[in-house]
Amino acid sequence: MRQKEIDKTPARLDFIQSSTGLILALFIMGHILFEASILISNEMMYKVTIMFEGYYFFGETYPGIITFLAAAISIIFIIHASIALRKFPDNYRQHKAMKEHVIRMKHEDTSLWIIQLTTGFIMFFIGSVHLYIMMANPSNIGPFASSFRVVHEHMGPLYFLLLISVVSHAFIGLYRLAMKWGFMEGESTKVSRARYKFLMKTMIVIYIVVGTLSLAKYTYIGVTHDFSEVKKFKSKIIDLRAH
């Protein structure tokens, strides 16, 4: 008699979710550090920007590279989020059961999972806004262009919320991956789990502090730099509504 075939789809989906999550987490770790180049100097942030536009390789800047990169990240982001959707509680009864479980068990790993679900949900919306803006305006990045966006195009609050969400989501995700892939097994699972948890929390704090300092610097430049010419140009564009 033939044995019943095992459905491998859930395992495959799980693997795709973990690997896309790993790529996104590594991307974001690099992203926030490169972006923090503003803390060194405006020139340094400008150098990092043109490096990504291929200047040091081609001798010219190609902002299209940023569009390509943002499109690639968007595709990975969408794949990762779509697969995660199946883990959301999809009715009120499931939601209630989950909440009661969290309250009754008081198990930190379950609470971490809820944080991941919530931050993932938030990022679905605000992460997409940011990615689309980067894709559509690839040449509009730099110490002054970015500061203008943060202050005068009111992206600061959105970036702050995105920062808190993405950093918590990424490091909780890496912790869960390490657990899933067996890094915490061994003589004393309890001790290694506590160590990884400490590392996760430390990284969350470091990245939120660095990201917040960078945002503060962009805000400072946005407020103190003279953008009157840009504002004049923008008000001319507003005139286009009528003419």
Q: Of the candidates 81, 172, 215, 221, which one interacts with ligand HEM according to CB under 6 A?
A: 215
Does 134 help bind ligand HEM (rule: CB under 6 A)?
A: yes
Q: Judged by CB under 6 A, does residue 221 bind ligand HEM?
A: no
Nearest to ligand HEM of 21, 193 (CB atom): 21
Among 48, 70, 174, 204, binds ligand HEM (CB under 6 A): 70
Residue 166 binding ligand HEM, by CB under 6 A: yes
Q: Which of residues 78-97 bind ligand HEM (CB under 6 A)?
A: none
Question: CB-wise, 163 or 172, nearer to ligand HEM?
Answer: 163
**Residue 13 touches ligand HEM, criterion: CB under 6 A:** no
Considering the complex, state which of residue 130 and residue 201 has its C-beta at the smaller distance from ligand HEM.
130
Nearer to ligand HEM, 167 or 184 (CB): 167
Q: Does 23 bind ligand HEM (CB under 6 A)?
A: no
Query: Closest Cα partner for 146 from 214, 53, 69, 201?
Result: 214
Q: Are 165 and 122 in contact (CB under 8 A)?
A: yes
CB under 8 Å to 24, separation ≥6 — which residues?
73, 76, 77, 80, 170
Asked if 208 is part of the footprint of ligand HEM (rule: CB under 6 A), the reply reads no
List residues near ligand HEM by CB under 6 A: 28, 31-32, 35, 66, 69-70, 73, 77, 123, 127, 130-131, 134, 141, 146, 149-150, 155, 159, 162-163, 166, 211, 214-215
